[in-house]
């Protein structure tokens, strides 16, 4: 059975840099497991690889959708499995790189209605409930999962929100997903998790935000507004973009915007680490234990080569 390396970890830890190092050792193609890099026009705020890197190494699931398109972890899992099969048929190595834990779970393990709990989707639905009310959400549920809707009370907030969360997380109505068993991928995985002491990680995140601002994050959001997108689009209701929208709307000043992006990015990194720590298949490597980039890369390669020799 083929083996797929996964390079995982929180935002700002250096996953992209490591994936580029692996390209010096394997004929790789990269599967981006990032729920925001998949959208067009979101370049600076999602820290997409540069155009030069994208030309050098083939990447999948980057600039795949418009910011107003609907997409789910379940859809990603199914599509990414097909792409991985194709990469193996071309005698190359697919390397999955990203920090969207729910996308990675969908790819490796498949999803059931019980496991389908995406924090980002849940948070978005809570905001919609507060803004538009439960009647609007129940109407929405009737349109995406009518079988579930007829079985619950239209005032049952918990089940309405849960039904919508499952649908928007997986792309499959909960009433149908309940009848299915999760289908694991037909490949082995070697999951390398990158981590660092908190102070170093937070410093990297803060520096990254400063670079984003210098590289034109505010101008990027202005262009998105000119294209007709807004903070109500789920793709833009995310760290880095929602704060700039607040700034452009005159609700906060520039310094407050920047500090809020840093704070929310650190909180997001903490949530990512909490998610990944629940998976005991991940081999954790602290980047701050290696003075030389080459030594860190060698350690990761040793784990990947060992797994390939054992599984293949």
**Domain-wise residue ranges, the chain:** 3-110+183-311, 119-177
The rounded distance, in Å, linking the Cα atoms of 3 and 73 is 21
CB-side neighbour CA atoms (13 Å) of 205: 26
> Can you give the pLDDT at residue 193?
97
> At 312, is the pLDDT very low, low, confident or very high (cuts 50, 70, 90)?
low
- d(CA 200, CA 204) in angstroms, rounded, equals 6
Statement: residue 262 has pLDDT above 80: yes
Amino acid 310: pLDDT: 83
Q: Are 67 and 81 in contact (CB under 8 A)?
A: no
**How high is the pLDDT of residue 298?**
94
Architecture of domain 3-110+183-311 in this structure: 3-Layer(aba) Sandwich (3.40)
> Hunting for tokens 């899992």 — which residue is that?
77
**CATH number assigned to the domain covering 119-177:** 1.10.20.140
Q: What is the pLDDT of residues 268-302, one digit of tens each?
A: 999 999 999 999 999 999 999 998 888 999 999 99
Interval 171-198 mean pLDDT: 90
For 83-138, how does the pLDDT look when each residue is reduced to its tens digit (9 = 90+)? 999 999 999 999 999 999 989 999 999 876 555 667 778 888 888 898 899 999 99
Instruction: Quote the pLDDT of residue 114.
Output: 54
User: Which pLDDT does position 197 carry in this prediction?
Assistant: 95
* pLDDT tens profile 130-183: 889 999 999 999 999 999 998 888 888 988 999 999 888 888 898 888 777 788
Q: How many helices (H) and strands (E) does the chain have?
A: 14, 6
Averaged pLDDT, 73-90:
94
Greatest CA span in the chain, whole angstroms? 60
């Amino acid at each position: 059975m083929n083996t797929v390396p996964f390079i995982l970890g929180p935002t700002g830890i250096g996953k992209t840099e490591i994936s580029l190092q692996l390209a010096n050792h394997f004929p790789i193609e990269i599967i981006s497991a990032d729920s925001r890099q998949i959208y067009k026009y979101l370049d600076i705020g999602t820290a997409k690889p540069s155009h030069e890197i994208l030309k050098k190494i083939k990447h999948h699931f980057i600039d795949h959708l418009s910011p107003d398109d609907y997409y789910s972890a379940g859809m990603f899992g199914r599509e990414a499995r097909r792409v991985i099969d194709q990469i193996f048929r071309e005698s190359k190595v697919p390397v999955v790189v990203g920090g969207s834990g729910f996308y990675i779970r969908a790819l490796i393990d498949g999803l059931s209605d019980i496991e389908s709990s995406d924090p980002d989707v849940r948070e978005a639905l809570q905001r919609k409930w507060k803004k538009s009310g439960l009647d609007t959400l129940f109407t929405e549920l009737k349109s995406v999962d009518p079988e579930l809707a007829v079985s619950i009370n239209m005032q049952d907030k918990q089940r309405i929100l849960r039904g919508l969360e499952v649908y928007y997380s997986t792309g499959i109505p909960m009433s149908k997903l309940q009848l299915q068993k999760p289908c694991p991928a037909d490949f082995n995985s070697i999951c390398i998790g990158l981590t660092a002491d908190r102070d170093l990680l937070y410093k990297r995140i803060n520096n990254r935000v400063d670079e984003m601002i210098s590289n034109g994050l505010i101008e990027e959001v202005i262009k998105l507004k000119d294209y007709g997108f807004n903070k109500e689009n789920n793709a833009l209701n995310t760290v880095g973009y929602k704060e700039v929208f607040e700034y452009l709307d005159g609700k906060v000043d520039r310094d407050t915007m920047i500090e809020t992006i840093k704070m929310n990015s650190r909180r997001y990194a903490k949530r990512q680490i909490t998610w990944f720590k629940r998976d005991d298949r991940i081999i954790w490597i602290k980047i701050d234990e290696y003075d030389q980039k080459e030594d860190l890369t060698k350690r990761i390669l040793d784990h990947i080569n060992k797994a390939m020799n054992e599984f293949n």
